[in-house]
């Protein structure tokens, strides 16, 4: 499923590349044969392929090519030279910093979206989940329901995806904050890469919509874009508020390779990699920081904030985007 979805995304990106050339030929901006080749977190797929990529290509005259997958997985492919994008958009900065200093020395944070629990409105669990969403049942009921025998939960792999890490840590925080039995963490999640509930980020919501899952992890922005019913979580456990970074850091998990990771706010971070088609790459990042890009993120359900630049050698054109 993962490989077929990636092929679909690349194909869509190629369409956007052609569209960009057409936009240039009709007098949008000076023609350039450069392309913004963007590797992005899978949760950005709908926004990038449906809105930002085509709009960027049309208005800038540069080409656009997109590829979506789990951020950590993409970082490993980039580090190994298996893919060579010139823009990397990650959820959380950790996948980008894995590429420093050989591939980049900076990143910019500019948007955020909290973790939510989306659910299929047509399963037998839907009425109970709807009552929890509406506040008619306590949020603690959600976690006992997720632990029910036969309940089909979907999430992403913490080894390759920041959303997968955050969802795992969210359950840990929720159980502790609501004084629920600690056994619920293992009962709900099982093994870190539990094959019964771990799927690629780009296929998770489609499985939910197809009725293969009762509920799944998601960013609020995905729920809004896909028109899926969802249960919002308190800011103290949803990893969507940069001001609560210390609280999120109290949650942690050990990855399969033994690495211990702590919770971090789920921000959208972007950087330019290498020097290939650098003008197009700079222009793509700059487009998202400008008003048109910010509006697209807001419309898609993200919270946007003033750009936060981290690191050295930020291109002047990106830093001065307006």
Q: What count of residues does the chain have?
A: 322
CA 213/CA 266 separation, integer angstroms = 24
Q: What percent of the chain has pLDDT over 70?
A: 90
Beta-carbon contacts of 121 under 8 Å, excluding residues fewer than 6 positions away, are 130, 229
Q: Name residue 311's beta-bridge partners.
A: 106
* Position 20 pLDDT exceeds 80: no
DSSP letter string, 79-126:
HTTS---SEEEEESSHHHHTTTTTT-SEEEEEEE--EEEEE-TTSTTH
What is the chain's Cα-based Rg?
A: 20
**pLDDT band with cut points at 50, 70 and 90 for residue 178:** very high
- C-alpha span between 62 and 30 (Å, rounded): 9
Bridge partners (DSSP) of residue 154 are 216
pLDDT of 315 above 80: yes
- The CA-atom distances, in angstroms, between 75 and each of 85, 144, 173, 218, 269 are 11, 35, 27, 21, 13
Report the pLDDT averaged over residues 19-42: 63
Task: Judge whether residue 1 has pLDDT over 70.
Answer: no
- Taking phi first (over 0 means left), then psi (-120 to 50 degrees means alpha), and beta for anything else, what does residue 260 get? beta
Gap between the terminal Cα atoms of the chain: 40
Q: How confident is the model at residue 162 (pLDDT cuts 50, 70, 90)?
A: confident
CA dihedral 84, 85, 87, 88 (to 10 degrees): -80
Give rounded-to-5 percent helix, strand, coil for the chain: 45, 20, 35
- Rounded CA separation 252/169 (Å): 6
**What confidence score (pLDDT) does residue 32 get?**
62
Separation CA 304–CA 227 (nearest Å): 20
Query: CB-based contacts of 137: which residues, under 8 Å, 6+ apart?
Result: 128, 131
pLDDT tens string 227-278: 999 999 999 999 998 889 999 999 999 999 999 999 999 999 999 998 889 9
Predicted TM-score (pTM) of the model is 0.77
Per-residue pLDDT at 22 exceeds 70: no
> Between the CA of residue 114 and those of 37, 39, 312, what are the distances in Å?
27, 21, 28
Q: What is the pLDDT of residue 153?
A: 97
Q: Tell me the pLDDT of the chain averaged across its residues.
A: 88
């Amino acid at each position: 499923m993962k490989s077929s979805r990636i092929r679909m995304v690349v194909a869509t990106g190629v369409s956007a590349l052609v569209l960009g050339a057409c936009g240039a030929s009709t007098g949008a901006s000076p023609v350039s044969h450069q392309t913004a080749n963007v590797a992005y977190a899978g949760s950005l797929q709908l926004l990038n392929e449906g809105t930002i990529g085509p709009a960027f290509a049309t208005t800038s005259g540069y080409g656009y090519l997109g590829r979506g997958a789990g951020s950590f997985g993409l970082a490993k492919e980039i580090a190994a030279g298996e893919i060579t994008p010139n823009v990397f958009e990650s959820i959380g900065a950790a996948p980008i910093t894995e590429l420093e200093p050989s591939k980049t020395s900076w990143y910019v944070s500019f948007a955020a979206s909290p973790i939510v629990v989306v659910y299929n409105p047509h399963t037998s669990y839907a009425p109970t989940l709807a009552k929890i969403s509406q506040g008619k049942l306590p949020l603690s009921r959600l976690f006992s329901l997720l632990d029910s025998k036969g309940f089909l939960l979907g999430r992403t792999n913490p080894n390759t995806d920041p959303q997968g890490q955050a969802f795992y840590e969210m359950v840990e925080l929720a159980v502790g904050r609501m004084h629920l039995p600690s056994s619920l963490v293992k009962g709900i999640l099982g093994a870190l890469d539990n094959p019964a509930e771990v799927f690629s980020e780009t296929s998770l919501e489609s499985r939910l919509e197809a009725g293969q899952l009762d509920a799944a992890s998601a960013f609020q922005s995905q729920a809004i874009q896909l028109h899926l019913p969802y249960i919002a979580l308190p800011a103290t456990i949803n990893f969507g508020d940069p001001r609560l970074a210390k609280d999120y850091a109290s949650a942690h998990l050990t990855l399969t390779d033994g690495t211990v990771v702590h919770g971090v706010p789920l921000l959208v971070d972007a950087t330019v990699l290498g020097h290939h088609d650098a003008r197009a790459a700079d222009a793509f990042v700059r487009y998202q920081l400008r008003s048109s890009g910010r509006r697209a993120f807001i419309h898609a359900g993200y919270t946007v904030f003033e750009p936060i630049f981290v690191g050295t050698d930020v291109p002047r054109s990106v830093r001065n985007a307006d």
